[in-house]
């Protein structure tokens, strides 16, 4: 799956040479045995981790149930990257830097590695041989080294988290709120990137949100948050947070940025609050003097849900290089009818554009399919990962 292009440079080198083909084969074969048992392994993994190393328990959210397999799923997938040293270093570097917000220390890595291997051994049963154990230990060591050194380098240059005071909030209807925060320390990011946020009401529940603005001189960031029914963090941000509350931001992530574009013409496709990073990108184009032609398609199920359209129309009035079209899929309204992917197929061609896609995962996936069928090269299609960054690596 194509992920956004990372923007960082100066990544650390892997501390150990890549694994041999045989070791990679052993890891892949054993992964296929244990992956279907990931739910059980997760429960066991956390049970032994917290029993053997109670000091790491406070790093994790309070309510840990079988669904909370983020770390373990990450571990299983990332070890799968071991035959791709370039991506391994890139993504584990990101992951290591991002782990600073959890409070992870270098000393925790052996503990997690020991419990991972013990859990895999238990569930793989007779399939777990000494050779397989050695291959996993080596792979884990390579990944851990990259994460540890990336975190150490990052520590030298910036904070792990940025407290940020909520300075403005506007309810936009349909369960969407615009929330503006002012970080207490300078917070550098690129338009189009996303930020993980922790609220005071759900400690250690980090969720990603995309600033809807290019970097501002006053340092504030505005997020468009949609309350997901039953969602912990989004409900709190939309219905509970008030001016004066202090949130915590993790380091910015993602490579859906203007510098990733190679063409002068940009196609931006946004569904729902997916408009946020696209709006930031459009502000960035304006900041740089409008040297791109931008076609923006906004999608929603109904006309009422066509979120942010007035704001974008105002922008289009100011910027001759910006064209906006709204597509509504479940209602007849004057204008374009249909889902975003269908509408894209009708317009175009788009093969000479850089494409920025943002919105619900099914929309992004099908829009991408349509565009690739129409001749757009996958490397010119930029979008955020759908879930955990590492799980969406190429």
Ligand X SMILES: Cc1cc2nc3c(=O)[nH]c(=O)nc-3n(C[C@H](O)[C@H](O)[C@H](O)COP(=O)(O)OP(=O)(O)OC[C@H]3O[C@@H](n4cnc5c(N)ncnc54)[C@H](O)[C@@H]3O)c2cc1C
Give the residues lining the site for ligand HEM (CB under 6 A): 56, 59-61, 68, 70-71, 74-75, 78, 95, 99, 102, 104, 108-109, 112, 140, 143-144, 147, 388, 390
By a kind-dependent CB cut-off of 5 to 8 A, residue 207 interacts, out of ligand HEM, ligand X, none, with ligand X
Q: Considering the complex, state which of residue 211 and residue 326 has its C-beta at the smaller distance from ligand X.
A: 211
* 179: its two tokens: 């929330």
210's contact among ligand X, ligand HEM, none, with CB below 5 to 8 A by partner kind, is: ligand X
Give the nearest distance from C-beta 280 to ligand HEM in angstroms. Answer: 21
What is the layout of strands, in order, in the sheet containing 176-183?
207-209, 195-198, 246-249, 162-173, 176-183, 221-226
Q: In this complex, which beta carbon is closest to ligand HEM, that of residue 77 or of residue 174?
A: 77
The one of ligand X, ligand HEM, none whose footprint includes residue 233, by CB under 5 to 8 A per kind, is ligand X
Q: Are 182 and 188 in contact (CB under 8 A)?
A: no
Instruction: Find the binding residues for ligand X in span 201-260 (CB under 6 A).
Output: 207-210, 223-226, 228, 230-235
Crossing angle for the helix pair 275-287 and 309-318, to the nearest 10 degrees: 10
- Binding of ligand X by 73 (CB under 6 A): no
Contacted entry of ligand HEM, ligand X, none for residue 337, CB cut-off 5 to 8 Å set by kind: none
DSSP 213: S
Distance between CA atoms of 178 and 212, rounded to whole angstroms?
9
Concatenating the DSSP letter of every residue in 72-108 gives HHHHHHHHTTTT-HHHHHHHHHHHHHHHGGGT--TTH
Q: Residue 384 interacts with ligand X (CB under 6 A)?
A: yes
- Residue 390 binds which entry of ligand X, ligand HEM, none, with Cβ cut-offs from 5 to 8 Å by kind? ligand HEM
- Decide if 284 contacts 192 (C-beta within 8 A): yes
At 281 the three-state DSSP class reads helix
Q: Footprint of ligand X on this chain (CB under 6 A)? A: 194, 207-210, 223-226, 228, 230-235, 273, 276, 384-385, 387
């Amino acid at each position: 799956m194509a992920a956004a292009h990372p923007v960082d440079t100066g990544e650390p080198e892997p501390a150990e040479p890549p694994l041999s083909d045989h070791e990679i084969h052993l890891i892949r074969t054993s992964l296929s045995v244990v992956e279907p048992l990931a739910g059980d392994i997760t429960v066991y993994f956390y049970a032994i981790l917290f029993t053997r190393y109670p000091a790491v328990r406070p790093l994790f959210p309070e309510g840990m149930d079988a669904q909370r397999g983020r770390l373990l799923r990450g571990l299983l997938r990332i070890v799968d990257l071991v035959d791709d040293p370039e991506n391994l270093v890139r993504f584990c570097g990101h992951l290591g830097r991002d782990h600073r917000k959890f409070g992870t220390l270098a000393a925790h890595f052996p503990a997690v590695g020991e419990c991972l291997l013990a859990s895999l051994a238990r569930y793989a049963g007779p399939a777990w041989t000494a050779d397989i154990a050695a291959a996993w230990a080596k792979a884990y060591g390579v990944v851990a080294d990259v994460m540890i050194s990336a975190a150490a380098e990052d520590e030298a240059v910036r904070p792990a988290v940025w407290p940020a005071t909520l300075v403005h909030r506007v309810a936009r209807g349909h369960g969407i709120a615009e929330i503006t925060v002012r970080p207490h320390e300078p917070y550098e990011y690129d338009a189009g990137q996303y930020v993980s946020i922790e609220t005071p009401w759900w400690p250690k529940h980090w969720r990603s949100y995309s600033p809807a603005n290019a970097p501002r001189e006053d340092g504030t960031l505005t997020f468009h948050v949609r309350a997901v029914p039953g969602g912990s963090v989004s409900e709190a941000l939309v219905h509970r947070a008030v001016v004066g509350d202090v949130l915590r931001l993790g380091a910015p992530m993602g490579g859906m940025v203007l510098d990733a574009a190679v063409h002068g013409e940009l196609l931006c496709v946004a569904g729902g609050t997916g408009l946020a990073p696209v709006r930031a990108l459009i502000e960035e184009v304006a900041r740089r003097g409008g040297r791109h032609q931008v076609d923006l398609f906004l999608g929603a199920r109904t006309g009422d849900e066509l979120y942010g359209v007035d704001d974008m129309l105002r922008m289009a009035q100011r910027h001759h290089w910006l064209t906006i079209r709204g597509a509504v899929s479940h209602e007849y309204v004057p204008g374009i009818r249909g889902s975003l992917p269908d509408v894209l197929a009708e317009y175009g061609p788009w093969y000479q554009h850089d494409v920025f896609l943002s919105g619900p995962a099914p929309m992004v996936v099908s829009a991408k399919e349509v565009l690739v069928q129409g001749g757009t090269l996958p490397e010119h299609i930029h979008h955020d990962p759908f879930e955990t960054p590492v799980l969406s690596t190429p």
